Amino acid sequence: MKLRDYELDWLRRIRRASARRVLVVGPTGSGKTVVAAALMRGALDRGHRVLFVVHRRELVKQAVQRLRESGVAQHAIGVILGGGRVGDEIYTLAERPHARIQVASIQTLNRARAPNASIVLIDEAHHATAKTYRALLAHYPKANVYGLTATPYRLDGRPLGDLFEEIVSAPPASDLIAARWLMRPRVYTVPYDQRPDLSGVRVFAGDFSKADLARAVNRKVLVGNIVDHYVKHAGSRSAVCYAVNVEHGEHIVASFDERGIDAELLTGDVPLRARVEILARFATGTTRVIVNCMVLTEGWDCPEAKLAIVARPTLSTCLWMQMCGRITRPTDGEATPTPLVLDHAGNAHVHGLPLEDVSYSLHGTRVRAIAKPGSLPEKLCPICECALPIGARECSNCGHEFSASEISELEGKLVLATRVVKLHNHCQYEHCLTPGKPVLPQHGKPGLMHMACIRARSAAARCCQYEHCPTPNRRLSKRRHIEHRVCAKLRRALERQPVVKIKRVAEHGTRSKYTAGCRCERCRAASSAYQRAYYRRCATHVPP
């Protein structure tokens, strides 16, 4: 396989990285597995033993195929994978314990003996903070580790900086799109005021509870809209649909069947042989729509899929970008239709549009590289249905001019999201516990801080502000206090500032108070004769 120009430069920069643990970041479809195969082939030529770790069965087959295309002999590739083999997998995915390159499933590898390796590659490395991956990396303390991912952040905000030391990124998505190596999808999303009602949906492990979410979105009207919009926008495109759970997926498949559209459901409980057959029918075009439940979200490579139906809301920016990234690969040798995303859950309002130019860090945050002005979709162009700001006088897509009496909002209709404003902010708390987790909107407005960070800030406000406090976990007795009494005395003693006692004396027939030994006017100011004696620091003390 001949590498593209940017892939050669990318591979050169990966090899020149000075760190032992390198995170390789690139958009979905940019060729991370191809570059990794070239990296493994070079390591094999230099006599290294290589371990390539994935978390899905489809990724194992994809990695072996890329290695064969890069020129690695079949006998040099071993596979560590449970669940048996089907058809030609008996040979292509054979276990070869003595092979110098091992492609392994993380689930099987945790139950088997870890092979010897001097180079370890982890596909979908945003999962590497899990306990299973940490236990695996503990077996290779001196190995060079390379992580591959398109989304170097996790939903729970746990950073990748404790696992990786350096980032090597692919060219920006805009450059790959301009060179026609990727295709920017056209996103149709729900107007903000027509999003599913998720007020009663609980949050579990950083995302919506599947049971509560299924009850909220598994409604006849919503599912009917999915089929209607597919018929309207699909054309000749094959579609992959993302459902919440099995019941929701079965409902969607039944709705497609009622309209005479071939659709099949793929879940984690489908037997191995049936799964291979379903994916083969979809690749050949026999099945027009494949509905799945968290099976085809990561690593699935099928250029024939050119329409993504997102029928589930999510709090995960990572999951949203991965789902949209399944349709951005161009098809070889033929005219490729523009990819479409039908966002029935309004995820674009929360997470933004896919394939934006972004910069990443190892601290769990994702920063937009270019801030694009815009507003929420409020008006539709009657010609091309492009979503525009409510005050637009001319359509930026087709040039249609609006008259004063035109009304373009249509109830229950997806709008083209050419520009959106994300409804979440990064947490404003300087000591944020989960910097990569988005802040949910509150009462329809962008939130400022996570609830956990609000509680942490309130707790910090009740703590002693003295930097050398001997009891930092002990709360203050009153809210208006900023230091413990002992800490205040200790601080004043260390600063050696004069602390003198105020006494009450009679002078010239009047009652006044003054600081003992001080002759300044402030200390001689008149005051009540019944005021209690108290300690006070004199700012203009005059020695006697």
Q: What is the 3-state secondary structure (H, E, C) of 262-291?
A: CEEEECCCCCHHHHHHHHHHHHHCCCCEEE
pLDDT for 126 equals 86
pLDDT for 482 equals 73
Q: Are residues 166 and 81 in the same domain?
A: yes
Residue 492 belongs to a domain: no
pLDDT for 383 equals 63
pLDDT for 492 equals 76
**Apex CA 355: angle with CA 380 and CA 128, to 5°?**
135
State the CB neighbour count (10 A cutoff) for residue 209: 15
Residue where the block lists tokens 């099995």:
246
Q: Are residues 107 and 190 in the same domain?
A: no
Q: Are residues 318 and 255 in the same domain?
A: yes
Residue 360 belongs to a domain: no
First CA to last CA across the chain, in angstroms? 93
- Asked if residues 299 and 56 have their Cβ atoms less than 8 Å apart, the reply is yes
> In a 10 Å sphere around its CB, with 0-12 CB exposed, 13-18 middle and 19+ buried, how is residue 276 labelled?
middle
Residue where the block lists tokens 């980032």:
167
Overall pTM surpassing 0.85 (yes/no): no
Q: Are residues 13 and 156 in the same domain?
A: yes
Domain count, the chain: 3
pLDDT for 440 equals 63
pLDDT for 384 equals 55
> In a 10 Å sphere around its CB, with 0-12 CB exposed, 13-18 middle and 19+ buried, how is residue 441 labelled?
middle
Q: Are residues 160 and 224 in the same domain?
A: no
Residue 429 belongs to a domain: no
CATH assignment at residue 56:
3.40.50.300
pLDDT for 296 equals 87
Q: Of 354, 379, 396, which closes a domain?
A: 354
pLDDT for 518 equals 55
Q: Are residues 191 and 172 in the same domain?
A: no
Q: Of 320, 354, 388, which closes a domain?
A: 354
> For residues 498-521, b (16+ Cβ closer than 10 Å) or e, as one string?
eeeebeeeeeeeeebbbbeebeee
Residue 303 belongs to a domain: yes
State the CB neighbour count (10 A cutoff) for residue 406: 12
**Helix H segments across 179-271?**
210-217, 220-233, 246-258
Q: Are residues 221 and 348 in the same domain?
A: yes
- Asked if residues 212 and 202 have their Cβ atoms less than 8 Å apart, the reply is yes
Q: Are residues 60 and 172 in the same domain?
A: yes
Residue 414 belongs to a domain: no
**Which residues are 241's β-sheet partners?**
291, 309
Q: Are residues 192 and 160 in the same domain?
A: no
Domain carrying residue 519:
500-536
Residue 113 belongs to a domain: yes
Residue 447 belongs to a domain: no
Residue 293 belongs to a domain: yes
pLDDT for 337 equals 83
Q: Are residues 232 and 124 in the same domain?
A: no
Separation CA 211–CA 77 (nearest Å): 42
**Which residues are 311's β-sheet partners?**
none
Q: Are residues 34 and 93 in the same domain?
A: yes
- Asked if residues 297 and 318 have their Cβ atoms less than 8 Å apart, the reply is no
| 294 φ/ψ sector (left φ>0, alpha ψ -120 to 50, else beta) | left
Q: Of 156, 178, 200, which closes a domain?
A: 178
Q: Are residues 278 and 212 in the same domain?
A: yes
Return per-residue pLDDT of the chain as tens, 544 residues.
Answer: 788 899 999 999 999 998 899 999 998 888 899 999 999 999 999 999 999 999 888 888 889 989 999 999 989 999 998 877 767 777 778 888 899 999 999 988 888 888 999 999 999 888 888 888 988 999 998 999 999 998 887 655 556 778 898 999 999 888 999 888 998 888 888 876 777 767 677 776 667 777 777 777 766 556 658 888 999 888 888 999 998 888 888 989 999 999 999 999 998 888 888 888 999 899 888 999 999 988 888 878 788 889 999 988 888 888 888 899 888 888 775 667 888 999 888 888 878 888 888 777 776 554 443 333 333 334 556 665 555 544 455 665 566 665 533 323 334 567 666 554 454 556 777 777 676 666 765 544 456 777 777 777 777 766 787 777 877 777 777 655 678 888 888 777 777 655 444 444 444 333 344 444 555 555 555 343 323 333 344 444 444 4
